[in-house]
Structure 1
Amino acid sequence: MTATDDAPISWPPAIPPAPTYLDDRLKHWAAATPDAEAMTYLGRTWTWAQWYDRVQRAAGGLRDLGVARGDVVSFLDKNHPACVEVSLAAGSIGAANAIINWRSAGDEIDYAVNDSGAKVLFVGTELMPTIEEIRDRLPHVERIITVTPEGDEGDEYEQFLADATPVDDGPDVLEDDVCLIMYSSGTTGRPKGIQLTHRNMVAHTVNAHDGWGFDPGDKSMVAMPLFHVGGSSYVLFGIHDGVPSVMTREADGASLAGAILAGANRTFLVPAVLAQVLHSGEDAIKLFSHLKTYTYGAAPMPPPLLRAAMAAWPDTDFIQVYGLTEVGGVATHLMPEDHRTAAAEGHPERLLSAGKPIPGVEVRIVDPALLTDLPTGEHGEIWLRTDQLMKGFLNKPEATAEVITDDGWFRTGDMGHIDADGYVYVSDRLKDMIITGGENVYSPEVERVLSEHPAVLEVAVIGVPDEKWGEAVKAVVALEEGTEASEVELIEWCRERLAHFKAPKSIDIIPALPRNPTGKILKRSLRAPYWEGQQRQV
């Protein structure tokens, strides 16, 4: 299917009504510019009218399967427009899509699908072997529908759409109904389902869009994984503005290059991608110079890498963003003019900042022990208040109460300060989250797996600097007396039980872990040698 070129598309298009629900802008563009290109993926292209029809059919198909307001469906695959379609369709009838990290191990998928209570599970054919292994452990799942990358003959999802009758939005859907559930590691070492509502996602799309937009002929490249808030939130930007999106199945070099050659010129990616491109030779650097906007975040950007990228692509607008899944994505941004003028105006340190709060987001720096506001420049916990803030953690009211105050402030667990000019600096974390290549790894989750090895007496997992990924997962273990285990053996043990990005890249085996007088392991002491001299601690 291809977009037609019968009529020129005027620009800028008429300003559409402010959206209320996740699918409002898709519905608008399907009526206003029905034949314009909306989404391209692996050689297939859909117009706005065609794409909206698919969403309406998905909604009708879900209703036929008994999915109703308050229910949950789940999606497990690499990037695929079907995931976005299911999210929009489920939201339109008051249900939610729980998007599962396709890199997860079987036990992790088992936990997330069961925790979400999903009635219908959409699965990429590549991942069906994992689901077949755990099928008997998914009692809530009433129907599994497979999805192929190319939509070939026999694709169950395409047949699911073809058999369905399109339906309009449910009349009883509310702004505060949950439409997305994103899984992120939690304090127990098990993932937490972050419930995001229509109000949250619409507010994020509008607020985070501040300061930049699209020009005639622009295309948005959606390359971040959709199980990550940076993918499922970012894809809404193109839908919001009515410009075409080019989605890649993965964020590998060949796929990104193909998207740029297809006209994509604005994107959001993790810093590790910049490093890969800069080390790929002149042809790759020249190709990526076609990007008008490179928004980066979800992991630390090493200052030398940022300076090299800005030198390589002087005409590209760089935007840094800081945020969390719990607030739908972005909370602060460092805009292109800040990148360009930081050194010229005598503020090179601003390239280390996360910029200023986006509209609709309030920021405080709070003493984490006394819970009192700290003066400008002092280091404390970053608190946020915004309409973007999640409804709460699924099935975990106590965990929700720990991070959301009675007056609506969200305790991020991130430490930092705000300077006199209002720039936010994120330095380290209260919670032991490791961000590696844009993926969140919570140390108790890895520690739980390592502690199950028969030779491991005690373990601490930390994040250490990594030039490519920002941080790498490292474990420090002490072994049971009289036992033996090698670094290779322990890493392989983790890889068999966790997604590979969560498994330690290195393991130190020492006689005993350092502890304070109360017996608590001193992770800060373990981290210190690796982070000494680093400009950022996160």
Structure 2
Amino acid sequence: MSDLAEPTFLDERTAHWAKTKPDDEAITFKDRTWTWSQWDERIRRLAGALSERGVGRGDVVAFLDKNHPACVETTLAAASLGAATAIINFRLAADELDYVLNDCGAKVLIVGAELKSSVEKIRDKLTSVELVVEVTPDGREGDEYEAMLADATPMGRSEDVEPDDVAIIMYSSGTTGRPKGVSLTQANLIAHTVSAFDGWELEDGDKNLVAMPLFHVGGSSYMQLGLHTGVSSYMTRDVDGAQLAGGILSGANRTFLVPAVLAKVLESGDDAVKLFSALKTYGYGASPMPLPLLRKALEAWPDTDFIQAYGLTEVGGVISLLAPEDHRSGDEERMGSAGRVVPGAEVRVVDPDSLEDVEQGEQGELWFRTKQLMKGYHNKPDATKEAVTEDGWFRTGDIGRVDEDGYIFVEDRLKDMIISGGENIYSIEVERVIAEHPAVAEVAVIGVPDEKWGESVKAVVSLEGEATEKEIIAFARERLAAYKCPRTVDIVEELPRNPTGKILKKDLRQPHWEAAGRKV
């Protein structure tokens, strides 16, 4: 690895490993395993198949399924043609699904067999989709995706492809009530892989456990580590105990998961704790790790390196890391930080009103500048301009401070956002749906502490008719992905407001967070 040049394009490393160690294991999924030469051949065949179907530079291919190696194959094959892969959250409700598929402008849609019926219901609304290809979890007979690869002529990278071509579009909840597509280029993703895994000292025989959903940067960006280093990956279809155990029993010893998974393992008893002791590295992020949980984990797995990642989709995933030695330093204040910026990144703490840097140690909005930063929000130049300054600083919407040693502390949010189980949920998106209920006069959605998920969604409503908590939750579930829906609803006479009429969400949140002893 030390004498291997940094790649320029995403498909370079798979081609390299196919040439230098063709018969070594590249990836295992369910009961199928592919070597590097076999996997590179599949990627080249898919590139040929997509090209034959009119996909070229600037086009978009959408992928909608639970975790599947075909998603990674699509990402690399499309990128080699200069096209982007929009990786769609399979948990979206129907009206969310048709919005993102139309917004991304996908020409081809690859969809899992389990989700095909959802696409068929909205097929007539998908204005840009010319072809739908079904993929099955096990590649069984009749799998349209496998048949497409078998019939294709392998194709190399197109000559007109540039590193700045968008390779992945990921949709995050939107501040305006609709999701925004984050456009990440090949150069962004490569820069992230090089910087975000600094300190992950992989060795021969290591194996990555890829379990986070691929529609999330914690899944797709983490998958790039194995591709980059030539380490084999074991991919699970879902994040559940049996599949995680299967990965570890097969030799997986490096992983990245959300803290909620770790909490569940600790609750599962001595056998589960012993099994997870095989992990050399446990990376975690996407939501805060409560200090009591972290203490238990450090005690349960004394030989495991814990690495906390703080980041955002807009920077490809990780922008700062809390290193293994910081976890075991005994400095609990530092253990509560988000660590220090990854190599090549810069951080500023800015007063959100004056836009001037604050004094060291004082609170302000966290801004980052990095080669990992997205090309922009897909089809949303105004939103991009609001988020990224002319000189390349990304405004995160997170409030924090940086101490004298460069450790970042994330302490509040400027954006009206909830992070539940690693998923970003914008309150306004949920409010938009609940406000449509005929009995709801006003609604405010807030995040409240949750021991398992970090935060959970609560709606506070005033009514102009008859409705119960269960009815409002059910109404939301018909129109939103389940993870975005409120778990609880408080019905009040009126919502608190300031003199100008703005709803005081801070007052609604305060009693819940005071009792939890933290801010976010």
| Matched position secondary structure for 2:155 | coil
Superposition RMSD in Å: 0.9
Shifted more, 18-27 versus 175-184: the winner is 18-27
> What does residue 338 of structure 1 align with?
326
| Matched position secondary structure for 1:188 | coil
> What does residue 475 of structure 1 align with?
459
> What does residue 132 of structure 1 align with?
120
Paired AA for residue 419 in structure 1: D
Gaps of 5+ in 2: none
Q: How far apart are the structure 2 equivalents of 1:188 and 1:280?
A: 40
1:464 counterpart = 2:448: yes
Cα distance, 1:215 vs. partner?
A: 1.3
Of 149, 158, 179, which aligns to 1:161?
A: 149
> What does residue 448 of structure 1 align with?
432
Instruction: Give 1:481-492 correspondences, 5 Å limit.
Output: 483-492=465-474
1:351 counterpart = 2:351: no
1:383 counterpart = 2:373: no
> What does residue 24 of structure 1 align with?
12
Cα distance, 1:534 vs. partner?
A: 3.9
Cα distance, 1:537 vs. partner?
A: 2.2
Q: How far apart are the structure 2 equivalents of 1:474 and 1:188?
A: 19
> What does residue 526 of structure 1 align with?
508
> What does residue 214 of structure 1 align with?
202
Of 212, 237, 243, which aligns to 1:255?
A: 243
| Matched position secondary structure for 1:234 | helix
Shifted more, 15-24 versus 170-179: the winner is 15-24
| Matched position secondary structure for 2:373 | coil
Paired AA for residue 398 in structure 2: D
Q: Deviations over 1:418-457 (max 9, x none)?
A: 0111100001111111111011111111001100000000
Q: Deviations over 1:215-234 (max 9, x none)?
A: 12110000000000110100
Of 385, 388, 391, which aligns to 1:404?
A: 388
Q: How far apart are the structure 2 equivalents of 1:427 and 1:447?
A: 24
Instruction: Give 1:246-395 correspondences, 5 Å limit.
Output: 246-341=234-329, 343=330, 347-395=331-379
| Matched position secondary structure for 2:328 | helix
Of 159, 172, 195, which aligns to 2:183?
A: 195
Shifted more, 74-83 versus 19-28: the winner is 19-28
Q: How far apart are the structure 2 equivalents of 1:533 and 1:498?
A: 29
Of 382, 393, 407, which aligns to 1:423?
A: 407
Of 193, 215, 229, which aligns to 1:227?
A: 215
Paired AA for residue 265 in structure 2: V
Q: How far apart are the structure 1 equivalents of 2:220 and 2:309?
A: 15
Cα distance, 1:367 vs. partner?
A: 0.2
Gaps of 5+ in 1: 1-12
| Matched position secondary structure for 1:233 | helix
Cα distance, 1:506 vs. partner?
A: 0.4
> What does residue 8 of structure 1 align with?
none
Cα distance, 1:536 vs. partner?
A: 3.8
| Matched position secondary structure for 1:66 | coil
Cα distance, 1:83 vs. partner?
A: 0.2
Q: How far apart are the structure 1 equivalents of 2:225 and 2:122?
A: 36
Paired AA for residue 412 in structure 2: D
Q: How far apart are the structure 2 equivalents of 1:267 and 1:535?
A: 30
> What does residue 169 of structure 2 align with?
181
Q: How far apart are the structure 2 equivalents of 1:439 and 1:327?
A: 16
| Matched position secondary structure for 1:381 | strand
Paired AA for residue 180 in structure 2: K
1:433 counterpart = 2:421: no
Paired AA for residue 486 in structure 2: P
Cα distance, 1:14 vs. partner?
A: 6.9
> What does residue 98 of structure 2 align with?
110
Of 480, 484, 489, which aligns to 1:507?
A: 489
1:36 counterpart = 2:36: no
Q: How far apart are the structure 2 equivalents of 1:303 and 1:428?
A: 17
Paired AA for residue 107 in structure 2: K
Paired AA for residue 42 in structure 2: R
The answer as to whether partners of 1:16 and 1:28 remain within 8 angstroms in 2 is: no
Q: How far apart are the structure 1 equivalents of 2:218 and 2:518?
A: 22
Q: How far apart are the structure 1 equivalents of 2:134 and 2:412?
A: 41
Instruction: Give 1:144-155 correspondences, 5 Å limit.
Output: 144-155=132-143
The answer as to whether partners of 1:356 and 1:422 remain within 8 angstroms in 2 is: yes
The answer as to whether partners of 1:225 and 1:231 remain within 8 angstroms in 2 is: yes
The answer as to whether partners of 1:472 and 1:504 remain within 8 angstroms in 2 is: yes
Give me the identity figure in percent.
66
Q: Deviations over 1:328-362 (max 9, x none)?
A: 00000000000011x1xxx3111110000000110
Paired AA for residue 210 in structure 2: V
Q: How far apart are the structure 2 equivalents of 1:485 and 1:213?
A: 56
TM-score by length of 1: 0.96
> What does residue 498 of structure 2 align with?
516
Q: How far apart are the structure 2 equivalents of 1:494 and 1:99?
A: 24
Paired AA for residue 520 in structure 1: K
Q: How far apart are the structure 1 equivalents of 2:437 and 2:246?
A: 43
Q: How far apart are the structure 2 equivalents of 1:306 and 1:316?
A: 12
TM-score by length of 2: 0.99
Paired AA for residue 444 in structure 1: I
1:494 counterpart = 2:476: yes
Number of residue pairs the alignment of both structures matches: 520
Q: How far apart are the structure 2 equivalents of 1:307 and 1:348?
A: 9
